[in-house]
Structure 1
Amino acid sequence: MSKIEVTLPDRINDDIDRLVDQGEFVNREQAVEELLSMGVSTYNVTEETTTEDEELFTQTVDDQDPAMQDEPNDDYGF
Protein backbone atom coordinates (compact mmCIF):
# COMPACT_ATOMS: atom_id res chain seq x y z
CA MET A 1 0.00 0.00 0.00
CA SER A 2 1.31 3.43 -0.91
CA LYS A 3 1.75 6.18 1.63
CA ILE A 4 1.03 9.81 0.84
CA GLU A 5 0.99 13.02 2.79
CA VAL A 6 -1.94 15.38 2.28
CA THR A 7 -2.60 18.84 3.63
CA LEU A 8 -6.33 19.38 4.19
CA PRO A 9 -8.27 22.52 4.91
CA ASP A 10 -9.47 22.73 8.53
CA ARG A 11 -13.09 22.32 7.42
CA ILE A 12 -12.44 18.95 5.78
CA ASN A 13 -10.23 17.81 8.63
CA ASP A 14 -13.02 18.62 11.10
CA ASP A 15 -15.58 16.80 8.93
CA ILE A 16 -13.43 13.65 8.92
CA ASP A 17 -12.99 13.83 12.69
CA ARG A 18 -16.74 14.28 13.10
CA LEU A 19 -17.49 11.22 10.93
CA VAL A 20 -15.08 9.10 12.98
CA ASP A 21 -16.56 10.40 16.27
CA GLN A 22 -20.08 9.57 15.04
CA GLY A 23 -19.01 6.00 14.34
CA GLU A 24 -19.27 6.19 10.56
CA PHE A 25 -15.70 4.89 10.36
CA VAL A 26 -13.61 2.80 12.77
CA ASN A 27 -10.69 5.23 12.66
CA ARG A 28 -9.29 8.19 10.77
CA GLU A 29 -7.20 6.02 8.42
CA GLN A 30 -10.24 4.04 7.31
CA ALA A 31 -12.23 7.26 6.85
CA VAL A 32 -9.60 8.87 4.64
CA GLU A 33 -9.12 5.69 2.58
CA GLU A 34 -12.84 5.15 1.97
CA LEU A 35 -13.59 8.81 1.28
CA LEU A 36 -10.74 9.04 -1.23
CA SER A 37 -11.85 5.80 -2.89
CA MET A 38 -15.41 7.10 -3.24
CA GLY A 39 -14.15 10.37 -4.67
CA VAL A 40 -11.93 8.67 -7.24
CA SER A 41 -14.67 6.21 -8.23
CA THR A 42 -17.05 9.08 -9.04
CA TYR A 43 -14.68 10.08 -11.82
CA ASN A 44 -14.95 6.56 -13.26
CA VAL A 45 -11.24 6.38 -13.95
CA THR A 46 -10.41 3.78 -16.60
CA GLU A 47 -7.16 2.94 -18.28
CA GLU A 48 -7.04 3.44 -22.05
CA THR A 49 -5.76 0.29 -23.72
CA THR A 50 -6.58 0.95 -27.36
CA THR A 51 -3.81 1.86 -29.71
CA GLU A 52 -3.94 4.06 -32.77
CA ASP A 53 -3.74 0.99 -35.02
CA GLU A 54 -6.76 -0.58 -33.31
CA GLU A 55 -8.75 2.64 -33.73
CA LEU A 56 -7.88 2.78 -37.44
CA PHE A 57 -8.97 -0.84 -37.90
CA THR A 58 -12.25 -0.24 -36.04
CA GLN A 59 -12.96 2.91 -38.05
CA THR A 60 -12.30 1.07 -41.34
CA VAL A 61 -14.66 -1.75 -40.35
CA ASP A 62 -17.33 0.74 -39.25
CA ASP A 63 -17.00 2.62 -42.55
CA GLN A 64 -17.63 -0.59 -44.50
CA ASP A 65 -20.59 -1.74 -42.38
CA PRO A 66 -23.86 -0.48 -43.93
CA ALA A 67 -25.58 -0.63 -40.56
CA MET A 68 -23.10 1.92 -39.20
CA GLN A 69 -23.80 4.47 -41.93
CA ASP A 70 -26.03 7.46 -41.20
CA GLU A 71 -27.84 7.45 -44.53
CA PRO A 72 -28.72 4.49 -46.73
CA ASN A 73 -26.46 4.10 -49.74
CA ASP A 74 -29.06 2.73 -52.12
CA ASP A 75 -31.27 4.41 -54.69
CA TYR A 76 -34.31 2.29 -53.94
CA GLY A 77 -37.45 3.92 -52.68
CA PHE A 78 -41.20 3.62 -52.67
Structure 2
Amino acid sequence: MQAEDIKQLIQAALPDAEVTVTGDGDHFDATVVSASFRELSMVKQHQSVYAALGDRFRNEIHALSLHTYTPEQWARRVQ
Protein backbone atom coordinates (compact mmCIF):
# COMPACT_ATOMS: atom_id res chain seq x y z
CA MET A 1 0.00 0.00 0.00
CA GLN A 2 1.27 3.43 -0.93
CA ALA A 3 0.56 6.84 0.61
CA GLU A 4 -1.49 7.88 -2.44
CA ASP A 5 -3.72 4.79 -2.06
CA ILE A 6 -4.46 5.69 1.55
CA LYS A 7 -5.19 9.29 0.58
CA GLN A 8 -7.66 8.18 -2.10
CA LEU A 9 -9.48 5.82 0.29
CA ILE A 10 -9.89 8.57 2.88
CA GLN A 11 -11.05 11.12 0.29
CA ALA A 12 -13.58 8.65 -1.11
CA ALA A 13 -15.16 8.30 2.34
CA LEU A 14 -14.78 11.97 3.32
CA PRO A 15 -15.18 13.90 0.04
CA ASP A 16 -14.86 17.32 1.69
CA ALA A 17 -11.58 16.40 3.39
CA GLU A 18 -8.17 17.80 2.68
CA VAL A 19 -5.84 14.83 3.10
CA THR A 20 -2.08 14.60 3.26
CA VAL A 21 -0.39 11.22 3.63
CA THR A 22 3.32 10.50 3.75
CA GLY A 23 5.07 7.22 4.40
CA ASP A 24 7.49 4.55 3.37
CA GLY A 25 5.17 1.67 2.51
CA ASP A 26 4.96 0.35 6.07
CA HIS A 27 4.61 3.40 8.31
CA PHE A 28 2.41 6.34 7.38
CA ASP A 29 1.52 9.77 8.69
CA ALA A 30 -1.88 11.20 7.72
CA THR A 31 -3.38 14.63 8.32
CA VAL A 32 -7.09 14.93 7.60
CA VAL A 33 -9.00 18.23 7.72
CA SER A 34 -12.76 17.92 7.37
CA ALA A 35 -15.84 19.93 8.26
CA SER A 36 -17.54 16.62 9.05
CA PHE A 37 -15.36 16.44 12.19
CA ARG A 38 -17.00 19.52 13.75
CA GLU A 39 -19.39 17.71 16.08
CA LEU A 40 -17.23 14.64 16.68
CA SER A 41 -14.80 13.81 19.47
CA MET A 42 -11.25 13.03 18.43
CA VAL A 43 -11.95 9.33 18.95
CA LYS A 44 -14.96 9.50 16.60
CA GLN A 45 -12.91 11.48 14.06
CA HIS A 46 -10.24 8.79 14.05
CA GLN A 47 -12.85 6.03 13.86
CA SER A 48 -14.32 7.63 10.73
CA VAL A 49 -10.89 7.59 9.07
CA TYR A 50 -10.22 4.00 10.17
CA ALA A 51 -13.63 3.02 8.75
CA ALA A 52 -12.57 4.52 5.41
CA LEU A 53 -9.51 2.27 5.40
CA GLY A 54 -11.51 -0.82 6.39
CA ASP A 55 -9.65 -4.12 6.43
CA ARG A 56 -6.65 -2.52 4.78
CA PHE A 57 -5.81 -0.97 8.14
CA ARG A 58 -5.62 -4.42 9.69
CA ASN A 59 -3.83 -6.14 6.79
CA GLU A 60 -1.88 -3.72 4.59
CA ILE A 61 -1.14 -0.71 6.79
CA HIS A 62 1.28 -1.60 9.55
CA ALA A 63 1.41 1.78 11.31
CA LEU A 64 -0.55 5.00 10.89
CA SER A 65 -0.01 8.21 12.79
CA LEU A 66 -3.29 10.07 12.39
CA HIS A 67 -3.97 13.78 12.94
CA THR A 68 -7.53 15.06 12.44
CA TYR A 69 -8.76 18.65 12.47
CA THR A 70 -11.81 20.71 11.67
CA PRO A 71 -11.10 23.53 9.21
CA GLU A 72 -11.21 26.00 12.12
CA GLN A 73 -8.72 24.00 14.17
CA TRP A 74 -6.44 23.72 11.16
CA ALA A 75 -6.62 27.46 10.47
CA ARG A 76 -5.60 28.22 14.07
CA ARG A 77 -2.80 25.66 13.88
CA VAL A 78 -1.15 27.06 10.77
CA GLN A 79 -1.29 30.72 11.77
TM-score range, shorter chain: under 0.3
When Rg is computed on C-alpha atoms for both structures, the one with the higher figure is 1
Structure with the bigger RCO (C-alpha within 8 Å, sep 6+) is 2
After TM superposition, the score normalised by the length of structure 1 is 0.25
TM-score, length of structure 2 as denominator length: 0.25
If each structure's helix is expressed as a fraction of its own residues, which one has the higher value? 1
